[in-house]
Structure 1
């Protein structure tokens, strides 16, 4: 793509203040590659907005499931950090089936302090935030 063809459609992502921009490689008039900043394409920005809205909705649903006692707080923080069970298992150093068990509230309540600290560390929160979730 030539430098003058670089898209500069303004972002429409929720909460975006248009200060973040992508760096793309373009060719200058001589055909040499150089980097240039782009605000992106309108279609791309719209698709990203839809994707983030879907993710936010899924996180909100999981929060309600935690409140109603269907799943443990680990499920909420896992989604909030854009993780799935295999990724979370690799970060906490547990088998996938073990992490899946920890998503059950009855099992979560019995976790030892060391395991809770591992999860909290991965989610970059305190053990209190993890165990006292959801806050009233």
Structure 2
């Protein structure tokens, strides 16, 4: 793409920031900035909507007693089994096993602390995500924005 053709669509997914994109000028690559691209913004919004739907399905599974709160938090904080296992230092099969409510209820404090630290939440919130408005506290998007602006 030529430098002059780099989109400047003021994407709301950029939150007022700019993104570096490489384009060509006189046959050589150069860095330029973009305020967004409608196609990229659409794809991002669709992906976020899909992730939100997965999170809602996980919430319902927890409320129905089919899965442990860990399952909900995994989706809420945009992890998958592999990344959650990696960040906690546990095996993937262990994480998957901890999705079972009867197993999760018996987890030692040390294991719960690993999960709570991974999500940057308290152990009580991890155990009861829907009781004390834990879902409203420490939203991933708030934490992400706070870290980027400090």
TM-score class, shorter: 0.7 to 0.9
Of the three residues 100, 103, 108, the one matched with 1:107 is: 103
Q: Greater CA radius of gyration, 1 or 2?
A: 1
Post-superposition, which runs of at least 4 consecutive aligned residues in structure 1 deviate over 6 A?
A: none
Shift of 1:26: 2.3
When structure 1 is superposed on structure 2, of 85-94 and 30-39 the one drifting more is: 30-39
Of the three residues 46, 51, 68, the one matched with 2:42 is: 46
Q: Which has the higher contact order (CA 8 A, sep 6+)?
A: 1
Of the three residues 65, 68, 71, the one matched with 2:67 is: 71
CA distance in 2, matches of 1:91, 1:12: 30
TM-score, reference length from structure 1? 0.85
Q: What 5-or-longer segments of structure 1 have no aligned partner?
A: none
Of the three residues 92, 99, 103, the one matched with 1:96 is: 92
Shift of 1:135: 2.3
3-state SS in 2 of match to 1:63: helix
CA distance in 1, matches of 2:125, 2:32: 41
Paired residues, what number? 132
Contact 2:68 2:101 in 1 (8 A): yes
TM-score, reference length from structure 2? 0.78
Q: What 5-or-longer segments of structure 2 have no aligned partner?
A: 133-150
When structure 1 is superposed on structure 2, of 125-134 and 39-48 the one drifting more is: 39-48
